[in-house]
């Protein structure tokens, strides 16, 4: 069992894959009775869940003051002329520094590539840090500056990659030594998730969504952005409904933003807004995803999405595009579910085949659940703790 005191770092507490994976890790460590602390960059709906298992230190609200955190970390004088907001930020950072010094962590565990600014503040602790990278190329460029990425990749003691695809991207795009990277896929609480799915009144949920009880539901899930392919989800839905108008498509997790309004406009113009439902973020998305019969992972890029594992626990066959990330490795035993990259016509055919062949749908769903069970936190949680101890006891050389 891990005995090291770990400072975890997360950019926010939003309901998304990386944050939920971190929550599982912290829940596992809490059950083991080991000491942890969480440095949290911003709030989110998962904050209350984090608070149940770990003490939180909040990163102060940032202002545009270049390298202010570096100056504090090096204990050099700050500029004398600071705005009130900058003074508040400076004081906030000093409070953070004091709290972290009192905690005295043995190691720092950063949960995403988006934590560069906070990691650059932490050298005063004089402790090694690990980065658990879930992002592939598009997300790395979006959520981390070139300097922040370089700092994390070169100064970290070791890197954990969420999938083989993430590792290969780090090697190919950033020339990271493969020996510096260990692959640890996403983890879930299979027992808790299984019990949750069993407890959900699927009939009531379908009634609330105006979906017939005998209709086949094709689902998608995730915070909507280009890489998640919500537009592709809608296009394939339109193509499927032209052949079989009895099915329903439901996407869970789209922010109520401009793109949301645009998609709603498209659905009405096409005439499928009653059978293709784009829902906003839900604190417990499983309340809806439990009603899915098929999961369509329409992503253009996705490292090893948690929703994929949850779909497996729900016994859903998973249809995906090739060359998009970890899902291809997850269902590699079932190549009939893997569609050539952005081949919408083929995606339509594969989905229709599953809709019309119930026995095949059920059989594949049972097999994919077995793959999900391999990602239980009781299996992967100890591995993460072992890695942490190995870094500290073996000079960070695996």
| DSSP string over 303-322 | SS-HHHHHHHHTT--EEEET
The per-residue pLDDT for 394 is 65
Closest listed residue to residue 42, CA positions, set 27, 25, 55, 60: 60
Same fold, 6-187+376-393 and 190-373: yes
The per-residue pLDDT for 167 is 94
Which of left, alpha, beta for 183 (phi over 0: left; psi -120 to 50: alpha)? beta
Domain spans, the chain: 6-187+376-393, 190-373
Burial environment of residue 210 by CB neighbours within 10 A (0 to 12, 13 to 18, 19 or more): exposed
Class of domain 190-373: alpha beta
Task: Determine contact, residues 154/131, Cβ cutoff 8 Å.
Answer: no
Burial environment of residue 188 by CB neighbours within 10 A (0 to 12, 13 to 18, 19 or more): buried
First to last CA, the chain: 18
**pTM (2 decimals)?**
0.82
Q: What percent of the chain has pLDDT over 70?
A: 91
CA distance 10 to 372: 25
The per-residue pLDDT for 327 is 92
Longest dimension (CA), the chain: 72
Q: Is 282 helix (H, G, I), strand (E, B) or coil?
A: coil
The per-residue pLDDT for 339 is 97
Question: What does the DSSP 8-state code read for residue 127?
Answer: -
**In whole numbers, what is the pLDDT of the chain averaged over residues?**
88
Instruction: Pull the structure tokens for residue 32.
Output: 């083991």
Long-range contacts of 306-310 (CB under 8 A, 24+ apart): 306/17, 306/20, 306/21, 306/186, 306/188, 307/17, 307/221, 307/222, 309/186, 309/188, 309/372, 309/375, 310/188, 310/193, 310/286, 310/372
The per-residue pLDDT for 63 is 58
Q: Is 366 helix (H, G, I), strand (E, B) or coil?
A: helix
Residue 159 vs residues 4, 33, 38, 104, 112: alpha-carbon distances, Å: 18, 25, 19, 22, 10
Class of domain 6-187+376-393: alpha beta
Residues in the chain, pLDDT under 50: 65-69, 71-72, 75-82, 396-398
The rounded radius of gyration (Å) of the Cα atoms in the chain is: 22
Describe the strand order of the beta sheet including 294-297 as a list of residue ranges.
276-279, 248-252, 217-221, 294-297, 318-321, 338-339
CA distance 253 to 260: 10
CA distance 69 to 217: 49
The per-residue pLDDT for 84 is 53
Task: Determine contact, residues 20/306, Cβ cutoff 8 Å.
Answer: yes
The per-residue pLDDT for 363 is 96
* Type and span of the H or E element at 295: strand 294-297
């Amino acid at each position: 069992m891990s005995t090291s005191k770990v400072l975890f770092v997360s950019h926010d507490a939003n309901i998304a894959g990386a944050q939920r994976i971190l929550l599982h890790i912290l829940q596992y460590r809490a059950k083991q009775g080991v000491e942890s602390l969480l440095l949290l960059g911003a709030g989110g709906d998962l904050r209350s869940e984090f608070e149940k298992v770990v003490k939180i230190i909040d990163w102060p609200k940032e202002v545009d003051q270049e390298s202010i955190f570096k100056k504090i970390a090096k204990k050099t004088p700050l500029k004398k002329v600071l705005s009130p907001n900058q003074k508040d930020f400076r004081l906030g950072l000093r409070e953070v520094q004091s709290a972290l010094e009192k905690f005295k962590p043995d190691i720092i565990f950063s949960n995403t590539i988006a934590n560069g600014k906070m990691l650059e503040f932490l050298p005063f602790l004089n402790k090694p840090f690990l980065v658990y990278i879930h992002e592939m190329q598009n997300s790395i460029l979006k959520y981390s500056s070139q300097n922040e990425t370089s700092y994390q990749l070169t100064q970290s003691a070791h890197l954990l990659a969420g999938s083989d695809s993430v590792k290969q991207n780090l090697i190919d795009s950033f020339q990271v030594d493969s020996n510096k990277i260990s692959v640890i896929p996403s983890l879930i609480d299979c027992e808790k998730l299984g019990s949750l799915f069993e407890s959900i009144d699927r009939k009531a949920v379908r009634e609330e969504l105006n979906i017939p009880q005998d209709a086949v539901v094709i689902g998608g899930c995730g915070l909507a952005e280009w890489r998640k392919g919500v537009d592709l989800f809608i296009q394939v839905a339109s193509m499927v409904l032209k052949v079989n108008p009895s099915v329903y498509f439901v996407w869970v997790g789209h922010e109520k933003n401009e793109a949301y309004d645009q998609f709603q406009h498209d659905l009405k113009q096409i005439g499928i807004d009653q059978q293709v439902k784009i829902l906003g973020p839900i604190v417990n998305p499983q309340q809806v995803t439990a009603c899915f019969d098929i999961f369509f992972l329409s992503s253009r890029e996705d490292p090893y999405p948690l929703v994929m594992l949850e779909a497996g626990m729900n016994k859903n066959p998973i249809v995906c595009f090739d060359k998009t990330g970890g899902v291809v490795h997850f269902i590699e035993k079932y190549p009939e579910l893997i569609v050539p990259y952005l081949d919408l016509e083929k995606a339509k055919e594969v989905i229709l085949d599953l809709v019309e062949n119930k026995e095949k749908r059920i059989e594949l769903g049972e097999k994919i659940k077995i793959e999900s069970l391999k990602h239980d936190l009781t299996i992967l949680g100890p591995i993460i703790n072992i890695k942490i101890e190995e870094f500290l006891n073996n000079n960070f050389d695996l």
